[in-house]
Amino acid sequence: MPISSRETLELRANKKIYFASDFHLGAPNHAESLVREKKVVRWLEQIRHDAQTVFLVGDLFDFWFEYRQVVPRGHVRLLGKLAELADAGIEIIIFSGNHDIWMFDYFQQEIGARVLRQATVFEVEHNAQTRSFFVAHGDGLGPGDYTYKFLKNIFESPLSHFVFGRVLHPNFSFKLGQNWALSSWKKHRRQPQPTFFGEDREFLLLYAKEIETKNHHDFYVFGHRHIQLDFEINARSRFFILGDWINHFSYAQYDGHTMQLLSFEEE
């Protein structure tokens, strides 16, 4: 997976950078999704006093497709809160995930957020020190899963965009997409909760280790796997998987010195 860009962020005094992923709003039904959405909004409200940049690292929605003239139904509390934070000067950076791969320009035009589709390196400067963050959702990275990698190329093709956006009626296309996403949700619910595969089998960790042999980064940050993981690659690099907002309600924060995984409203 190519790196789309390398960017520089200057972290101001008393400010923090936050990372979260895998809200999967919309699943498995409206009632359960609404509970999660309200919890995400409470978290965003809690961090607004010291947040400089908020990274949402993919799969905000269980299914999403943007049409030119209409907006998918639902999620108004999250969208409104993100717009409110952006209007207040907080930078919102969203990575598309495998469930919301069809994000285009809506979030930028209507909310003021940026949408990134590929792994991106951020050089974060603070107090004359620079730390490098390699950030991506994580789908299609690392060894294996060749079927999904093939399907991802199809989903990202102009033909798929044209068929969903111009040929199929939105009611039908959304029902199709939601049923596909819901089948995946039900499949995962029948299985044990995801766990760490181990240092030699965790594909995102293997991917990060390969990148590290070529270019050093202080922190690797991923979503996708629905596990919480803080792993030391070597004495200079740490690897994070952010968990999710289905079981963990977890996020990471960086204050210019320390990067750590936390849980919101942990009981």
CATH of the domain at 149: 3.60.21.10
Closest CA to 247 of 260, 221, 266: 266
pLDDT interval class at 241 (50, 70, 90): very high
**pLDDT per residue as tens digits for the range 212-228:** 999 999 999 999 999 99
* Number of domain units in the chain: 1
pLDDT interval class at 100 (50, 70, 90): confident
Sequence-ordered strand ranges (E) for 96-179: 114-116, 120-126, 129-136
Tell me which of 50 and 170 has the higher pLDDT: 50
User: Which residues lie closer than 8 Å to 266 by C-beta, 6 or more apart?
Assistant: 249
Indicate the average pLDDT of the chain. 88
The residues pairing with 251 across neighbouring beta strands, listed in sequence order, are: 262
Torsion of CA 131, 242, 36, 44, to 10 degrees: -10
pLDDT at 2 over 60: no
pLDDT interval class at 267 (50, 70, 90): very low
Q: Give the other-Cβ count within 10 Å of 223's Cβ.
A: 30
**pLDDT per residue as tens digits for the range 119-177:** 999 999 999 999 999 999 999 888 766 566 666 666 677 777 676 666 666 766 777 76
Give the domain extent around 13. Answer: 5-263
pTM for this entry:
0.90
Amino acid at 65: F
The 3-state DSSP composition of the chain as helix, strand, coil percent (nearest 5) reads 35, 25, 40
Closest CA to 105 of 96, 115, 97, 118: 115
